[in-house]
Structure 1
């Protein structure tokens, strides 16, 4: 029996990590496509004539299917169909949506303003319909291959690939487009297509693993207990739970203050603080004749350092080994920063490159905060800290005009962004029974998409409204649109205190170590 177990694919370390790479392609590419428009906002206005409201509308309607339960429906379909079919169907939906948006941006459906706008939106709606379910498929598949092994490390690396996709999509789309929108959209859509091919390759190994595990199950006579089907009564019970309701609303306010801001951040830095839209020639890195590949290499180094410093050492049992590994990674990274200091100084004056550091920073901070919550607890208190950081970040980027304080605000936002997955998501597992976690997370994601819809679109519409009298070509005033996000931070503090109060009554132990 033991010998048979050793022959399954998942018991091979090399095979597990190879599968992770194949799966992370979907995470990387969908996060890229979700966020890459942020680096193109100014170009979409000048080349395609889109207003800020129309830019916000494109982003907002990406969430429309998920607002009305697509995540819950997708989760049920995933349970019914299995990983392979669900991944192909919803991955294919994302590819179809990306392809339609790319064709629309190229003028395939017509070059009229309304036609291009509406067809890009159609593509984004289809993409959004597949996006969240694809991420759930990737997560569930990683559990299948890594359960009993380095599951936390694999999860962190997969999420790291997603954040890397967000960062590179924001920073590199202008370089890839060569001053035009259409090539950047085509490239982003092609990434999802390539990722789907990677997933199809994965399914070959997944089929083989299922056959191996079925043979083992048949030999041992083990019978798996069937999972209970989704019931709406479970949803009602969740909403009646005060602690869960406060966490779900915190999810809405946190993400509404972060994700919409990230889409407008490059344009804000350009208009308010005078950052450059196009990277000056002195800041370009040419690799194999391409500045896009050269810039990508810098992000890959940052990603590698983040994984080596914040994620990998957590798997070492010996404290001295952990310390030496982190120290070595830090020294090597500092040397790299010293070598690249002149180029990076120019990057920190570019809107898209600077804004892209927010998702990249979460790769470092999230495991650090996650480790703290595991050992010390204080999840609800960390949410209060995150709320305060949100307020400072948005005040520093709206009311204040000092660029150095703005950098500090962006850093604060990155730290707050890291607190959400580190403190919020593990708290849900303390409140909700394990066999209902799928329903709980799907409910939270659905509510989150309502907040994203409102703020993606609302910020763009408000931006147009407050800048009505400003001549074309003059910097836009972002003060009021970003100041509105301070309100999300204030509401988050209020909800965090209510959560602490509810936890004291219901005794879920949110302030206790995991």
Structure 2
């Protein structure tokens, strides 16, 4: 290619800068989705919002997507393009964040009903933009990395999202202190900053589009050079969304099984993560607050110190999966893994005492679930590519799911709790790595967009039901706990204590045994049913695959005879 034909994305530095700018949206939206997770108890003691109302706030985040916002957003994205769609839906998510923050500060009224209404409206608006923003980011990465390091860029982008989830769970309570609002304001600020980064990205996008138009107008690029430059005209343009595509999908039993499996599996994972820190504290005696000896402080901030620890783990997770894949030769790959793991092991050994305390802290321990997927998902994805067995691995993932929730609901052993969390983390990596490539085998390429949008829409019905359902059931089976905490809160407020002081006092009373903890047995046991349903659906999918011959058990690229 002539130098005069080069465009912005031909510069590696610009490409990776673009990745960081747009991945900040992924990071911030995932953070905002999950930051309430460690605040459930504090929301009750500070704002008077009980577990059912907490579940309602989280569950209604998905309501717009239940009614097709993802499909509508995809159509708008195709019509408006990346820039306008990104600003529109990113702005919608940011507006939701601002309203949520203002509500937590009492801007719409200090009484519980006003705060609760504001939180719900804010989360609904945020949820309306959330999924479409993720699609916009993915489309942007394809635009800038097609013909270059596309798979690597997508893996790093997803890593940013998982890091956002992990940090949200790990540091929100550190930021909150004794009142909820600082954590909400911080989470909303992150979305606002990420939207600013997206606006910065737009200048690069506009300039590259101008370069492409100039090259096309000059007729300078043809054939392979056009493909490299990214200025080619697609020979087979994507078809517009048609409802007839939905009918074809709805009559394909393999697609129905995998879509329902998606609902059952994710309903047992994402809602659980929202309650995991509180479960570990209430059931297994984990702590909410780290002792001074175990805090990591950077520039005077405990939250920033904790964030740096997770960034180090994030870098290790990406390194151990991505660096070996970029090397040629098995010996070089193995050596790189040994070096990376060895360096990380030395670091872990040096801070072993601090990490030991972290592993009995509810938020810090729960945050490892999304963080671990950065390591394991690429590994399992590579296995599916080379060996196949996708349907069988989904069955295994469902079995791990059942073991995890039985360990965390029926038994009281902290050791089994750790094993349950580990099993859940592996399942959370294993099933998606097998599921999403399988959809591409079941559904024709020109209907993949409709298929994924349909799956995400149905999935949100399950998420909304269980986000809310766990909180409602927790409220239902713990009437004495709800009443005791409510009465104590009212009594302390009547004594003139601030809401922050009330939250602190209630924690102390629970530690002393004067106030009871919540019993999570039935809410988490309910999730075992999702695992059982997942196994049934995975078996049915395997049977349907034998009849329809999609080759789900075969390696990628290999077709059934």
Normalised to the residue count of structure 2, the TM-score between the two structures is: 0.90
Match of 1:47 in 2: 46
Give the Å deviation of 1:312. Answer: 2.8
Give the Å deviation of 1:2. Answer: 4.2
Equivalent residues in 2 for 1:9-408 (5 A)? 9-218=8-217, 219=219, 220=221, 223-225=233-235, 226-408=237-419
CA distance in 2, matches of 1:475, 1:51: 13
Match of 1:498 in 2: 540
Q: Once the two structures are superposed, what CA deviation does each residue of 1:160-207 show, in whole Å capped at 9, x if it has no partner?
A: 010000010011011112221001000000000000000000011011
Give the Å deviation of 1:216. Answer: 3.0
The yes-or-no answer on 1:409 pairing with 2:451 is no
Q: Once the two structures are superposed, what CA deviation does each residue of 1:263-309 show, in whole Å capped at 9, x if it has no partner?
A: 00000000000111112212101111111111111000000000000
CA distance in 2, matches of 1:287, 1:277: 20
CA distance in 2, matches of 1:498, 1:128: 32
Equivalent in 516, 519, 544 of residue 477 of structure 1: 519
Give the Å deviation of 1:326. Answer: 1.1
Q: Is the 8 A contact 1:32 1:166 kept in 2?
A: yes
CA distance in 1, matches of 2:46, 2:524: 25
Compared CA separation, residues 2 and 385, structure 1 to 2 (3 A) = farther
Secondary structure of the 2:148 match is coil
Q: Is the 8 A contact 1:247 1:499 kept in 2?
A: yes
CA distance in 1, matches of 2:431, 2:197: 30
Secondary structure of the 2:36 match is helix
Q: Is the 8 A contact 1:310 1:367 kept in 2?
A: yes
Q: Once the two structures are superposed, what CA deviation does each residue of 1:239-279 show, in whole Å capped at 9, x if it has no partner?
A: 11111111100110110000000000000000000111112
CA distance in 1, matches of 2:351, 2:404: 27
Give the Å deviation of 1:501. Answer: 0.5
Match of 1:441 in 2: 452
Secondary structure of the 2:346 match is helix
CA distance in 2, matches of 1:253, 1:311: 30
Match of 2:502 in 1: none
Match of 1:426 in 2: 437
Equivalent in 509, 520, 529 of residue 487 of structure 1: 529
Q: Is the 8 A contact 1:380 1:423 kept in 2?
A: yes
Q: Is the 8 A contact 1:97 1:125 kept in 2?
A: yes
CA distance in 2, matches of 1:317, 1:421: 27
CA distance in 1, matches of 2:362, 2:148: 41
CA distance in 2, matches of 1:8, 1:429: 32
Secondary structure of the 2:479 match is coil
Q: Is the 8 A contact 1:463 1:481 kept in 2?
A: yes
Q: Is the 8 A contact 1:282 1:346 kept in 2?
A: no
Q: Is the 8 A contact 1:217 1:223 kept in 2?
A: no
CA distance in 2, matches of 1:224, 1:190: 39
Q: Is the 8 A contact 1:174 1:180 kept in 2?
A: no
Q: How many residues align?
A: 513
Match of 2:551 in 1: 509
Over the aligned positions, Cα root-mean-square deviation in angstroms equals 1.1
Q: Is the 8 A contact 1:51 1:464 kept in 2?
A: yes
Flag the structure with larger Rg: 2
Give the Å deviation of 1:330. Answer: 0.3
CA distance in 2, matches of 1:215, 1:328: 47
Range with greater deviation from structure 2 (462-471 or 251-260): 462-471
- Gaps spanning 5+ residues in structure 2: where? 223-231, 486-514, 557-561
Normalised to the residue count of structure 1, the TM-score between the two structures is: 0.98
Q: Is the 8 A contact 1:153 1:312 kept in 2?
A: no
CA distance in 2, matches of 1:84, 1:322: 39
CA distance in 1, matches of 2:325, 2:444: 27
